A = this chain, B = another copy of it.
């Protein structure tokens, strides 16, 4: 049974609080926010929680086991480092941190302290994403050709980070999870329409060593919410639409058959179309599974399903994509980083 502190009780933090309150592995809650009013609102619902406006004081509690960080990106590194230094297990919301350098330091610190370092790639815990991973792992789509993703909506404009740092972590964490490989190159284009210097529309292109490619578009300036990912393989194709209630995942038994040249020296293509199947998905809250995985990992002394290295892989792509975006779409190579020493 764990004592867990949540820092950041604004937009997302309360979801962590609710899931901790309902999780039997957590017996005690500390809540921290610079804004006392935000804590008050949580205390109405969870009066047994301990309120803190000073983070240092909260993590100074000797019986505090773990900290979950749901503050703005710019504070992730500092808050996580402090908690790790005091020997606390740490969960950081996505994106993990603001640079590769920061990520490497946090990972090394967690290693040396032998503490859990988890990153909040919530989609990886969601039923459709898990189902797609199963489908890909059993080879149902054949050789993976490409992924194309759209994640657009009206708002919410962030004031400190671009639309890429805000929205791309979702898709990138899924891509890496599904493919089991990180991209070797990235390009990004886009523009800042509403706030100068903060791109609100972006298009990102990725190349993988396996030959697969991926594309994703992100926007805070779009008339309707779209969250649609198409995965095309040599044998079948798949569409994942996260805005659907029913049939979030559809598998299309479609493809092209390539026939080698025969007598007349011309190859032939034929198109194959079969059934469309929308597989039954489990039904649970991804965040509940994620919080539970973090708490279990601590108690079982194992790595969480999304750890610092998973977070770092995504940060490296974000860094490179942002650099490409600032340089009119120039190709950025994403080199290998030896994470563990």
Interface residues of A (CB under 8 A from B): 45, 47, 145-146, 148, 154-155, 157, 159, 185, 187, 189-191, 193-195, 201, 203, 205, 211, 213, 215, 217, 219, 221-224, 230, 232, 234, 237-239, 243, 245-247, 250, 252-254, 256, 258, 266-267, 269, 271, 273-280, 328-331
Contacts and interface: CB of A to CB of B under 8 A. Distances in A.
B217 A221 contact: no
Contacts of A247: 276
A245 B224 CA distance: 10
A214 B273 CA distance: 32
Contacts of A45: 45
A305 to B, nearest CB: 26
Nearest to A143: B193
Contacts of A205: 189, 203, 329
8 contacts: A145-B193, A148-B217, A155-B256, A155-B269, A191-B211, A203-B205, A223-B252, A224-B246
Contact of A256 (B154, B254, B271, B328): B154
The 3 closest A-B pairs by CB, nearest first: A223-B237, A223-B252, A276-B278
A148 to B, nearest CB: 7
Contacts of A187: 187, 189, 329
Contacts of A279: 275
B280 A277 contact: no
Contacts of A238: 223
Given A189-B187, A193-B145, A246-B276, A232 B239 contact: no
Given A187-B187, A275-B277, A239 B223 contact: yes
A267 B221 CA distance: 18
B277 A276 contact: yes
A88 to B, nearest CB: 27
Nearest to A232: B221
Nearest to A201: B146
B223 A203 contact: no
Given A154-B254, A275-B279, A193 B146 contact: yes
Among A266, A274, A329: residue with most chain B CB under 10 A: A329
Given A187-B189, A187-B329, A201-B213, A280 B269 contact: no
B252 A237 contact: no
A274 B211 CA distance: 35
Contacts of A224: 239, 246, 252
A273 B47 contact: no
Contacts of A215: 189, 203, 217
Given A145-B201, A154-B273, A269-B157, A328 B329 contact: no
Nearest to A212: B191
